[in-house]
Amino acid sequence: MRSAGTRLLLVRHGQTNWNLEGRYQGGIDVPLNLQGQTRSEALAEELSVERIDVVYSSPLSRAVDTARPIARKHGLDVRIEPDLREIELGEWEGMPATVIAERYPELFRQWVEDPRPVRPPGGESILELHDRVIAAVDRIIRLHPGKRICLVTHKVTLVIIRTHFLRLDLPEEMRRPFPNGTWEWLDVLEMPRGNPCCSAAAVTSPTETSDRST
């Protein structure tokens, strides 16, 4: 049966220079560039007509600085959730995909085809990311039943949320564009044993083109 109308608003942070350069950001705190800042203000204006009850963000500044204008439009503060941060990519962080492919050809080939069994050197596995992200989202849902919850986060983190709740194929979702500064709603369902899942998303705001880097 449906819970009391809980909805998740999933937002990917605005653009950074590393997005433009195709560099893997991971846990490095790369700031928004000018286009990302401008898009974040426009995004907040778009979302000003939506009901939003609470805003959560990854602690990385590219997410926080995307979340702040949204929260400000709704008279809210941004709540920082450390476990919404992007996947830790270890030695790959700061590298363009082309360089990673040259230095780690077999590992990167596996990552592109199906990242689930791959751990970037010194980094975090998809399973570890899944466990921390879904635990955080579950906590947030239970704290705010029946609310409209905005989560501002990152590409791979969003893939984890979508594939977990919508039962989607992770390799396929990794290849699906989720441009910087765009958003979509997920309706949360309460299953018989109290485990939340989500219905299909109402996808909106496909306005900003972007890379597929993390």
Q: Which of 158, 118, 136 is nearest to 11 (CA)?
A: 158
Dist. CA 2–CA 17, nearest whole Å: 41
CA R_g for the chain:
17
Neighbours of 208 (CB within 10 A): 18
The one catalytic residue among 74, 130, 144, 154: 154
One of 13, 74, 130, 144 is an active-site residue; which one?
Answer: 13
Contact 2, 31 (CB under 8 A): no
Residue 145: strand pairing partners: none
Helices (runs of H) and strands (runs of E) counted in the chain:
8, 7
154 is catalytic: yes
Paired tokens of 57: 């963000």
122: left (phi over 0), alpha (psi -120 to 50) or beta: left
**CA-to-CA separations, 199 to 14, 38, 112, 190, 203, in angstroms, rounded:** 26, 31, 27, 10, 12
Give the active site residues.
13, 154
